[in-house]
Amino acid sequence: MRIFPIITLSLALLPQAMAAEAQSHPCPAPWVCEMNSVMTTSGITPSLRMGYYPEDQGQPFAGNVIYFEGLGDSMVNHAPLFQKLSQVGYRVIAFDYFGQGGSEGSMNRTRIQGIIEIGAQVWSRYARVTLPRTRHTILGWSTGGLAAFVAAHQNATDRVILIAPGLAPRVSVGSGILSLPPNQITLESLTSAQYSARNPNPHLEPISPQSPLSVPLFSLNLMGTAKQMKGQSISPRIPVLAILSGKHDTYVNAAKTRARLARAAPHREEIVFEFGKHELDNESGEISDQVSDSVIEFLNRTH
């Protein structure tokens, strides 16, 4: 099995006695979730919700995928994509950042490198071991896409899927800087999908935090990391699938993102949805279906 270049301390789980005290946190079926603290290079975290969307037991096991979420996101808000992955045998591992979804603390404490450190521990806890080796895969959206890019740059994963990654984040996002209150993350700005009884809203948990302005320390880290990654590359040994948005994305500059990926990973596979907004996996039906199909095809082919 590949040995990832991550500091030993960041890979260590807390002592078993503390882990045994982890209390369950409500998660919609079929999620398997619990609350746990983990150790990172910056110290012990608050209790974070973590777990996995289980693979369909009626299918041959296909592998593990860890999801890195976006700002204001929740691990349980992406059931359409995760359900399709489950149906073909994939286990989707995930965790909520500080103060998001079911996790405690404040998102202001989150750092991009910390996402990678925590993700490594969550993976070691929930990944189903396969022989001869367990292939490490990150699927990252938005903020999580930036973290996934950094992990791939550090050779800390075997393959990576980037959905509208935060490589070129906008200063004015969502509702815009001129709205009151400014820069609000809104469902309407994330997706053009229209929800109804026949098309239920997959966003089971509210947007939190509601604006990057409310978590300035994290936002500065995100902007700084994106700037640091400009000009950095991903090894051609790491397969990359980039699923990108277009001009209607009010969270990242789609043109700059595409240009940076062209330089960073010329070997990448790329799909562009020119009329898609930011949350492509929860976009209108046709886009959402194409995203799911593309992810599954990529995973099966690069297994």
pLDDT tens by residue, 247-276: 999 999 999 999 999 999 999 999 999 999
Q: Which of 41, 38, 63 is nearest to 52 (CA)?
A: 63
Name residues whose C-beta falls within 8 Å of residue 125's C-beta, 6 or more positions apart in sequence.
13, 36, 50
Name residues whose C-beta falls within 8 Å of residue 79's C-beta, 6 or more positions apart in sequence.
28, 53, 202, 204
Q: Which of 5, 3, 70, 12 is nearest to 41 (CA)?
A: 12
Phi, psi of 243 (to 5 degrees): -110, 110
CA atoms within 13 A on the CB side of 130: 16
Angle, CA of 99, 100 and 104, to the nearest 5°: 35
Reduced to 3 states (helix: H, G, I; strand: E, B; else coil), residue 34 is strand
pLDDT on residue 25: 57
pLDDT on residue 7: 36
The pTM score is 0.91
Rounded Cα gap, residues 107 and 211, in angstroms: 11
Tokens 């700005």 sit on residue: 189
Taken as a whole, the chain contains a residue count of: 303
CATH architecture of 8-301: 3-Layer(aba) Sandwich (3.40)
CB 139, CB 217: distance < 8 Å: no
Amino acid at 154: Q
CB 106, CB 96: distance < 8 Å: no
Instruction: Show the low-confidence residues of the chain (pLDDT under 70).
Output: 1-25
What letter would DSSP give residue 56? P
> Given the DSSP bridges, would you call strands 48-53 and 39-40 parallel, antiparallel or unpaired?
unpaired
Rounded Cα gap, residues 128 and 94, in angstroms: 13
CB 210, CB 183: distance < 8 Å: no
pLDDT tens by residue, 154-206: 999 999 999 999 999 999 999 887 787 899 999 999 999 999 998 899 999 99
Name residues whose C-beta falls within 8 Å of residue 188's C-beta, 6 or more positions apart in sequence.
none
pLDDT on residue 14: 40
Write the burial class of residue 40 (CB in 10 Å: 0-12 exposed, 13-18 middle, 19+ buried): buried
